[in-house]
Structure 1
Amino acid sequence: MIDYRMSYLIDMSHKVGHSIQELSEITGLPTETVIDQLGKIDEQLQKFSYEPIYREEDKLYFPKQVADKWLELHFGKLETEIFYSEYERQALLYLLTFTADEDLSVFHYQEFFQVSKNTILADIKKLRERLTKYQIKLDYSRKKGFYLSGREEDIRIQAHQMIAKVVTSVSGKWGLKKGLVKYSRTFEADVRSYLFETIKASELVIVPSRIEETIYFMVYVLRRAKSHSIKLDRQAKERIKELNAFHGSQLFLAKFSTILDPESEQFYFTLIFMTITQGEIRDTALEFLLECASQIIHEMERLAAIEFKAYRKLLLDLFYHLVPAFFRIKYHFSLTNVLIEEIKEQYGELFALTKIALHPLEMLTGQAIPDEEVGYFTILFGGEIGNQRELNRVIRYKALVLCPSGISSSLIMQSELKELFPTIDFSLTTTVDQLESLAESEYDVIFSSVPLNTQKKMYLVNPIMTQLEKNNLIRHVQEELLIPGIVVPSIDEIIETLLPYIELKKGVTKEKIYRILNRKMIKKLKVKEDEKPMLSELLTKEMIQLTDKTLTWEEAIAYAAQPLKEQGKITDNYIDAMIQKVKDYGAFIHIGKGIALPHARPEDGVKQLGMSLLKVEEPVLLLGDPKHEITIFICLAAVDNEMHLKALASLTKILSNKENLEKLLVAKDQETIIQLLKEGESL
């Protein structure tokens, strides 16, 4: 697409010529970029059979179509090729009303979307139904035309959610731009330019993947703020005023002082900045989130029975992501996570544990954490768990991992690549926008989730790869970079190799063999994930004990661990280590609801993965503390940070289900406990 700054040329008279230097000054682009952009515009003009840019000596004259058909030139599509989905029409209809300066009628909507009156009436009816649950009304009066009524905060949040969804498609983005062009053909470009200036001047670190939706939201809010102000409570204002981004908000809004009173919106725009700003450790107003990050890590360690070795690095990474997440959740700004279903499918157990570990954030915001947000925290923890695998590597190549969604979103991609290619150094990670700031000498090869125009060897990978995709990537990288190891042939290569030496039965074709092999390979590659045992597979009858003995907490842990010791899964040292951990770190093994999860490090005496359960009739007080009354001890012997996660995810489901938990706490025999564990796995 054409650079947004070229839109400053739209309003120029087609009768007046300009030199390249003048165009550079008007757009703020280097002369080389201007020449390149003019070439693209000329290509589009010719593509659509419009008049080309006219040259006379050193002056350039733009045909009238540059202004009239700017959207077509910008997107490289004719308007007749744009088709809005039903949701896009209703969202854009809402946004048109959101910024309306004039009395809007059904005819205005018809003209904008080029659809029938009946279609618009149907859209209005469905939109009104959708808005009802948010206490927003799409009203109509002869005097005002269509307008929105309700709490201004709710009206704006609904606009943000709609923008976040429609901005992901070409038709949606076209509609957003078209809705603005009718008021000003350069206002969006102004907002973009001033925003980037503010980010630089305020030294804010922005999450790249949120920029686009935020720019459009800012543009639409600035249009609406001329006539609709928003009120925040005094306590919120005091907290917002302390943030570093508050100064950035003031700088930004000062550019629009001719159309609105900056003071009326400076607090709200600070919130917008905070939803896309990476946490800044020097911002003292955010110290409470650093503490929250620490609590979440400890909660994750407790629930997943793991210990993060690079604690400080994880704390900072989590804090950087927690800051925008807190402001999004607290103030109801939506987050689009297109990978959420894949995250749930491939990292289901980690997702379940992360959701519970985020309880401190839930308490801070007073809001349930949306799955889309949980997904990004899952990626963060998953990447860190992957990074903790100790690999003895001889580094031959330095790779750059690129992801448009920010540093934290690339962690799982980075850790999986490390496992696939142990002879490549994957320590260098950045975003696409920051690629130019890196010297090419710093890396030999690029692994990116988006296509790039680069001279370096590049491999396009999905942020979350299927097993088959991993298999194909291994083959390509080994073939092209000559990485030591066994090259896994493709299915096509296997078939082509075998065909000269076999005779196909009647009715059997090459395509049929391909389908069978493909199914077999996918099934085989899934085995590793399926090796993670479920809770009921670990807590079998012989690993479950019930007792009416009166025990101290140390005796209870030793008693609970006996089945593991008898089956040779742990040593005596491990039992001592579990008890010592509680003495050293307190009652961290109490995971809630009267259930304790004693465990220590694998190197403390674990020989094989295992779990054992002890249910006591008389509750045991951990460290003699009445706040930590334990009825069930589940000893965990983990061999690494991952193999036990599926089982623990099932345990957290049981803890989260009040009915099943109560049944478990009053169970009188092994069979009942086993049945409840199996039911918990299917929740």
Structure 2
Amino acid sequence: MEQLDTKFIQFLSMISRQKEIRSITELALNLGVSRRMVYYYVDKLNDFLKEKKRPTLQRQKRKGFEISKIQQQEIQLWMKAQETTDYVLTQNERHLLIGLLILIENKKWQLQHLQDFFHVSRNTVIKDVQLVKEWLLTFGVTIESNKKRGYFVTISELNRRQLIYQQLYLMEIAQMDAIYYLLVHELEIVKTPQELNQAIQAIEAAIYQTKTSLAKEITELDTHILAKMIVIVQNRSKNGWIVEWTKKEAALIEERLEFKIVVQLLQQLNGYFGIDHLEKEAYYYSVLLLCIEKNVDAHFLSNPFENLVYVTKNFVRLFEQIAGIHFHNRDRLIEKIQTHMKVLYYRHVFEVQMPNYLVKDLSDRYEKAFKLTEKVSIIMKSDIVFQTSFSKGLTKTEITEIAIYFEEAILKEQTRRDVLQVLVVSDCSAVLNNVIEAHLQQLLPESLVVGNLKSKSAYYYPGKVDYCISTNLNYVHPQGETVYVSPILTIEDKKRMKELGKKQPLTLKKREKIKLLLTEFQYIENQDAFILELEKLVKSPKRELPKKYQVKMVDFLKNSEFCFVEDQEDSLPTLLDKMSKPLIEEHYIQVSYREQIKEELNQGQLIFLYSKILLVHTDYRFGSIKPGCSFLFLKSPLIVKNNKEVQLIVFLATEETMAHVPLLFELDHLLQSNFYEILIKTASFQAATQQLQS
């Protein structure tokens, strides 16, 4: 047992804290490995226990195995005493280290140097370096090499440090503490793991003290990375490599409270271990603090951010209007998005890119929220106040980050059902943790996240837990099953989540289904039908999930009952009465939904998707049952408030789970084509639809 690997350490950590492993299958599922690998780990552990003359783990037929206190103590002692540098590196771990060694450039790194450091073949190093080159090229950075410097890159110090921070971020979320020690050991910063831990703890303690002074809270994850970054950057700083700032940037940094706090922090750490170029480095770490994601910012409304507050409120208002939803906890949503907007603002000002691996998965995974947020950002580009804060607009990454807050708010607005009790344990940012929650809601539709806690406090959670979903590989919850996942769920993670859902039948409380019946049936007028459905529900032993609607706009365009063409002008309320009639008769909406739309239009809440094209809809809670739409074309435009012309009206029925949003996307795609031009020429929905399809 002289060599370690990540999964084996995770296996040891889990069994050293649990008295009993009930099932090999469950253990394999929770670790994300095969049953065969678990048996291999057990045999490997038993070899060690035999060396220590301790009882080995005994598998029970059709069960798991028990672990005694003596066995657990031996495992824990071995893990503490194990030489951290004696580690089996995976290909990914080598890539991280090679990238960091080239970026830090503590000495000349040539092919032979890397081969000796990793104890691998020349061909392996060549392949590894090639992959690192491909990674850096995605940032527009080219690895060069010569006899004098070995492998090196030519970029600004700020960009270099951003890439170093990104590698440390990857290392932290994968919890590669042993790999980090290998790095600092090679850089000759510390001599032992104990010395490194003491240094990191001292820095983290100093960072935690800034929370009270700044009235802001950064995540546990970023605290760990920032502490490790301070240790690493000393190697650059002592060689005179410092980030340069313009006078304007320096003046802006000095105005912020973060600068004063960072100076005090570095002075405090300087007494513990020397900080080279302390005053100059204070500017860099101040910017880093400003650009790091915040869980809490008590000053989110403070000066000089009135413009950003306006941008955030307008962003939320437009999202509500386009999506047809009203957030009950609107103020809390604005606070969260405004806190993030401040971070984005500073990143734009200082041109700092922080690591983010959400876009690739989440812009597709949460397509509804993302596309709606993207639509809002496009509209916001014409806003002068928005242009002042974000002259280049928002990137896809930034749009995705904002969309996550909307996704979280939408999920919380939806009805909670009788569910599995799930506890999320993660030291990552609130954004990442919210993403995990959102994934759980989709992968386990009947799950209830009872808490989203840091590993330090999760152990003392008093409530019932069926499953603990943890991104911390060293955490084991005292009750329920602990399942380990990546901060960004992989395909394998998602498969395992779905398997958890199969262990307990999905349920829906009957009283909630009665509420659905009360919504769907106008039972005062249709008492017999309502009573018949109610009797079926009471007698039925089965419990069902809510319906999942799949609707297409073209189906409504082809149905003449939902399409209207008017020759003469009527008042807008009269036109809405005509358009809503088929939707009411077919149980898409209730009369109350139409009346609420009239009230909102009377207040001047008009949504023009394009010139002369009016979208009318509102929150489903006013009486919309399922997604649908109707259309009305006016041969002569109607003049409404502010002398705006209306020629095409789209009446949209919304739905609780946002099933109406795909109709909005279809409508947007339709209006970007020549459908509207054909409609003006032919005054026929049927002709316009047929020509478009042909």
TM-score bin (small chain): 0.5 to 0.7
Q: CA deviation at 1:178?
A: 1.9
In the alignment, the residues of structure 2 paired with residue 323 and residue 446 of structure 1 have an alpha-carbon distance, to the nearest angstrom, of 38
| 1:144-171 per-position Cα deviation (integer Å, ceiling 9, x unaligned) | 444321233333333333443454447x
Pairing partner for 1:265 from 275, 281, 292 = 281
> Is 1:221 equivalent to 2:228 in the alignment?
no
| Alignment partner, residue 149 of structure 1 | 154
| Alignment partner, residue 353 of structure 2 | 333
Does the CA-based 8 Å contact 1:279-1:323 persist in structure 2? Answer: no
| Alignment partner, residue 298 of structure 2 | 281
Does the CA-based 8 Å contact 2:423-2:469 persist in structure 1? Answer: no
> Is 1:193 equivalent to 2:202 in the alignment?
yes
> Is 1:208 equivalent to 2:215 in the alignment?
no
Residue 458 of structure 2 aligns to which amino acid in structure 1? Answer: L
Does the CA-based 8 Å contact 1:306-1:641 persist in structure 2? Answer: no
Residue 353 of structure 2 aligns to which amino acid in structure 1? Answer: F
Equivalent positions of 1:434-473 (< 5 A) are 434-435=457-458, 440-441=461-462, 443-445=463-465, 447-450=467-470, 452-457=475-480, 460=483, 469=497, 472-473=500-501
| Alignment partner, residue 136 of structure 1 | 141
| 1:252-301 per-position Cα deviation (integer Å, ceiling 9, x unaligned) | 33356544223323233223223133241325255544433322221221
Does the CA-based 8 Å contact 1:335-1:373 persist in structure 2? Answer: no
Pairing partner for 1:647 from 637, 660, 663 = 663
| Alignment partner, residue 600 of structure 1 | 618
CA shift in 2, pair 1:296/1:84, >3 Å: same
| 1:121-145 per-position Cα deviation (integer Å, ceiling 9, x unaligned) | 5655665565456453434455444
Does the CA-based 8 Å contact 2:466-2:481 persist in structure 1? Answer: yes
In the alignment, the residues of structure 2 paired with residue 445 and residue 337 of structure 1 have an alpha-carbon distance, to the nearest angstrom, of 29
In the alignment, the residues of structure 2 paired with residue 325 and residue 661 of structure 1 have an alpha-carbon distance, to the nearest angstrom, of 38
In the alignment, the residues of structure 1 paired with residue 690 and residue 593 of structure 2 have an alpha-carbon distance, to the nearest angstrom, of 29
Q: Structure 1, unaligned stretches of length 5 or more?
A: 3-42, 51-68, 487-523
| Alignment partner, residue 267 of structure 2 | 254
CA shift in 2, pair 1:242/1:568, >3 Å: same
Query: Which secondary structure state, in structure 2, belongs to the residue aligned with residue 596 of structure 1?
Result: strand
What CA RMSD, in Å, does the superposition of the two structures yield over aligned residues? 4.9
Q: CA deviation at 1:598?
A: 0.9
In the alignment, the residues of structure 2 paired with residue 550 and residue 163 of structure 1 have an alpha-carbon distance, to the nearest angstrom, of 65
Does the CA-based 8 Å contact 2:593-2:622 persist in structure 1? Answer: yes
CA shift in 2, pair 1:260/1:671, >3 Å: farther
| Alignment partner, residue 317 of structure 1 | 336
| Alignment partner, residue 432 of structure 1 | 455
In the alignment, the residues of structure 2 paired with residue 333 and residue 635 of structure 1 have an alpha-carbon distance, to the nearest angstrom, of 42
Does the CA-based 8 Å contact 1:340-1:375 persist in structure 2? Answer: no
In the alignment, the residues of structure 2 paired with residue 304 and residue 430 of structure 1 have an alpha-carbon distance, to the nearest angstrom, of 31
Q: CA deviation at 1:323?
A: 4.3
Does the CA-based 8 Å contact 1:351-1:374 persist in structure 2? Answer: yes
| Alignment partner, residue 91 of structure 2 | 84
CA shift in 2, pair 1:166/1:407, >3 Å: closer
CA shift in 2, pair 1:440/1:92, >3 Å: closer
> Is 1:610 equivalent to 2:628 in the alignment?
yes
Pairing partner for 1:412 from 438, 443, 459 = 438
Does the CA-based 8 Å contact 1:448-1:459 persist in structure 2? Answer: yes
| Alignment partner, residue 99 of structure 1 | 104
Residue 600 of structure 2 aligns to which amino acid in structure 1? Answer: K
In the alignment, the residues of structure 2 paired with residue 665 and residue 220 of structure 1 have an alpha-carbon distance, to the nearest angstrom, of 64
Q: CA deviation at 1:636?
A: 1.3
Does the CA-based 8 Å contact 2:172-2:221 persist in structure 1? Answer: no
In the alignment, the residues of structure 2 paired with residue 416 and residue 128 of structure 1 have an alpha-carbon distance, to the nearest angstrom, of 37
> Is 1:535 equivalent to 2:553 in the alignment?
yes
In the alignment, the residues of structure 2 paired with residue 468 and residue 663 of structure 1 have an alpha-carbon distance, to the nearest angstrom, of 50
In the alignment, the residues of structure 2 paired with residue 565 and residue 406 of structure 1 have an alpha-carbon distance, to the nearest angstrom, of 45
Does the CA-based 8 Å contact 2:417-2:446 persist in structure 1? Answer: no
Residue 237 of structure 2 aligns to which amino acid in structure 1? Answer: A
- Report which structure shows greater RCO (CA 8 Å, sep ≥6): 2
Query: Which secondary structure state, in structure 2, belongs to the residue aligned with residue 115 of structure 1?
Result: coil
Equivalent positions of 1:14-93 (< 5 A) are 73=82, 78-79=86-87, 81-85=88-92, 89-93=94-98
CA shift in 2, pair 1:553/1:636, >3 Å: same
Does the CA-based 8 Å contact 1:202-1:245 persist in structure 2? Answer: no
TM-score w.r.t. length of structure 1: 0.67
In the alignment, the residues of structure 1 paired with residue 502 and residue 79 of structure 2 have an alpha-carbon distance, to the nearest angstrom, of 45
In the alignment, the residues of structure 1 paired with residue 136 and residue 315 of structure 2 have an alpha-carbon distance, to the nearest angstrom, of 35
Does the CA-based 8 Å contact 1:541-1:674 persist in structure 2? Answer: no
Does the CA-based 8 Å contact 1:140-1:146 persist in structure 2? Answer: yes
Does the CA-based 8 Å contact 1:164-1:335 persist in structure 2? Answer: yes
In the alignment, the residues of structure 1 paired with residue 125 and residue 230 of structure 2 have an alpha-carbon distance, to the nearest angstrom, of 27
Does the CA-based 8 Å contact 2:631-2:649 persist in structure 1? Answer: yes
| 1:615-646 per-position Cα deviation (integer Å, ceiling 9, x unaligned) | 445555552255xx555321112243523123
Does the CA-based 8 Å contact 2:564-2:633 persist in structure 1? Answer: yes
In the alignment, the residues of structure 2 paired with residue 619 and residue 233 of structure 1 have an alpha-carbon distance, to the nearest angstrom, of 55
Residue 412 of structure 1 aligns to which amino acid in structure 2? Answer: A
Query: Which secondary structure state, in structure 1, belongs to the residue aligned with residue 106 of structure 2?
Result: coil
Residue 265 of structure 2 aligns to which amino acid in structure 1? Answer: F
| Alignment partner, residue 164 of structure 1 | 169
Q: CA deviation at 1:677?
A: 8.6
Pairing partner for 2:185 from 163, 181, 185 = 181
> Is 1:386 equivalent to 2:403 in the alignment?
no
Residue 449 of structure 1 aligns to which amino acid in structure 2? Answer: I
CA shift in 2, pair 1:116/1:579, >3 Å: same
Does the CA-based 8 Å contact 2:169-2:225 persist in structure 1? Answer: yes
Query: Which secondary structure state, in structure 2, belongs to the residue aligned with residue 597 of structure 1?
Result: strand
Query: Which secondary structure state, in structure 2, belongs to the residue aligned with residue 205 of structure 1?
Result: strand
| Alignment partner, residue 533 of structure 2 | none
Query: Which secondary structure state, in structure 1, belongs to the residue aligned with residue 564 of structure 2?
Result: strand
Residue 364 of structure 2 aligns to which amino acid in structure 1? Answer: K
Residue 670 of structure 1 aligns to which amino acid in structure 2? Answer: F
Residue 154 of structure 2 aligns to which amino acid in structure 1? Answer: S
Q: Structure 2, unaligned stretches of length 5 or more?
A: 5-44, 53-77, 512-542
In the alignment, the residues of structure 2 paired with residue 206 and residue 677 of structure 1 have an alpha-carbon distance, to the nearest angstrom, of 52
Q: CA deviation at 1:309?
A: 1.4
Query: Which secondary structure state, in structure 2, belongs to the residue aligned with residue 612 of structure 1?
Result: strand
Does the CA-based 8 Å contact 1:446-1:457 persist in structure 2? Answer: yes
CA shift in 2, pair 1:214/1:648, >3 Å: farther
Q: CA deviation at 1:305?
A: 0.8
CA shift in 2, pair 1:609/1:460, >3 Å: same
| Alignment partner, residue 35 of structure 1 | none
Which moved further from structure 2: 212-221 or 223-232?
Answer: 212-221
| 1:455-487 per-position Cα deviation (integer Å, ceiling 9, x unaligned) | 3445659798979956854754999xxx9999x
TM-score w.r.t. length of structure 2: 0.66
In the alignment, the residues of structure 2 paired with residue 560 and residue 478 of structure 1 have an alpha-carbon distance, to the nearest angstrom, of 38
Does the CA-based 8 Å contact 1:202-1:247 persist in structure 2? Answer: no
Residue 207 of structure 1 aligns to which amino acid in structure 2? Answer: T
